[in-house]
Copies of this chain bind each other. A is one copy, B any other.
Amino acid sequence: MPDFGTSGDSMSLRVAERISGIQPFYVMELLRRAKELEADGKDIIHMEIGEPDFATPQTILKAALAHTATGDVKYTPAAGLTELRQKIAAFYRRRYGVNIPEQRVFVTPGATGAFLLALGASLNPGEEVLMADPCYPCNSNFVQLYDGKTRTIPVDADSHYQLTTKLIERHWSAETKGVLIASPSNPTGTLIPRAELQKTIEATRRLGGCFYSDEIYHGLVYGEKAATALEFSDDVFVINSFSKYFGMTGWRIGWLIVPELFIEAAEKLSQNIFISTSSDAQHAALAAFDESTLAELEDRRREFEKRRDFLYDALVRLGFDIPIKPAGAFYIYARCAKFTDDSFQFALDLLENEGVAVTPGKDFGLHEAHHALRFAYTTSLDRLAEAVRRLERFLDAR
């Protein structure tokens, strides 16, 4: 090998500037340590994981297996199988009473792909997106990918840990392109009340902005039904996924609904950045809206609700501060100021001493993050009960 090929010459290579703006996920450090502990034979209770512990429903698996078995696993149209786009549109009619022409529906590799597509089609470099702090950590990184800017707005229990019309109007600037919300929220599990959602969309549209609504935890709600942004405007981007409610994380399939004006842009962009979404995943998802699948998912939702109730009560009893009982998703965002001013260290110690893994607040933002932990109830009631016992012992020992 010629000697220019040695690492010495990599000095002229430089990582793109956008990368330095992407924070690593702190939970990865915990995950690595958890794996080591498991390799040493220690029993770890995973409450840091943002995916359902349930298997993909049988009906969905059957549809996938039938397709895979044909061996005919080819590119599909970039926007997705027509039949699947129609089923998604029909789901909006049935569940929310809104009429979405299937041309506005784009099947994507997860909500992740939906974000790539929505922001790629709408955001210019230097433009700013408003989002809540705390929020899903990838949000600002999607914006960063397109060399946009993120303005995170601290939110507290008094606004359900969500943006409000007032906050949006106060933080709007000449550079603001739009607003990104998720309801129910990751990490807080809280919803934007229906009337407030309508007002924030109205305010954003009045200001000429794009509204990006991440509805990936719709379906996983335990009280009030979540409203889709599409009930209030056709000119919004709705991001959703088969990952969470439908139990299909590893399949990498979700969808995006775009305003009519963006159909052509989304079509062009998806042809280039995806070619298409996994053919197996799409054929699997064709069974996702079947009555029998939805019935099974309804059972799971009730199971998640039981877990939420159990865990919420237990954490409150142990002295965690949870001002709002979360109404959706599978997370409890608990304040732990009573126990520590460094929730990351707390999480590391809890893992090390008791084998319970949770996610530190600082993965979701800066605002009061050192006083916060996210507990995912993506494990069985038995395991949650064991985690609570360990947590109690851990707190007693401090």
Contacts and interface: CB of A to CB of B under 8 A. Distances in A.
Interface in A218-252: 231-235, 248-252
A274 B109 contact: yes
A279 B261 contact: no
B74 A58 contact: no
A260 interface: yes
A19 B261 CA distance: 13
Contacts of A22: 268-269, 272
A55 B15 CA distance: 39
Tally of this chain's copies: 2
A145 B120 contact: yes
Given A10-B259, A278-B278, A278-B281, A249 B74 contact: yes
Interface in A1-42: 1-2, 4-7, 9-10, 12-19, 22, 24-25, 28
A129 interface: no
A276 B261 contact: no
A277 interface: yes
Interface centre among A15, A56, A110 (most CB of B within 10 A): A15
B65 A261 contact: no
Contacts of A235: 5, 7, 9-10, 13
Contact of A147 (B25, B28, B125): B125
Given A71-B55, A112-B273, A272-B142, A120 B18 contact: yes
Given A2-B202, A19-B265, A56 B75 contact: no
Interface of A: 1-2, 4-7, 9-10, 12-19, 22, 24-25, 28, 51, 55-56, 58, 61, 64-65, 68-76, 109-110, 112, 116, 120-125, 138, 141-142, 145-147, 198, 202, 205-206, 208, 210, 231-235, 248-252, 259-262, 265, 268-269, 271-281
14 contacts: A5-B233, A10-B234, A16-B121, A16-B146, A24-B268, A55-B73, A68-B68, A68-B280, A73-B249, A75-B249, A142-B272, A252-B252, A278-B278, A280-B281
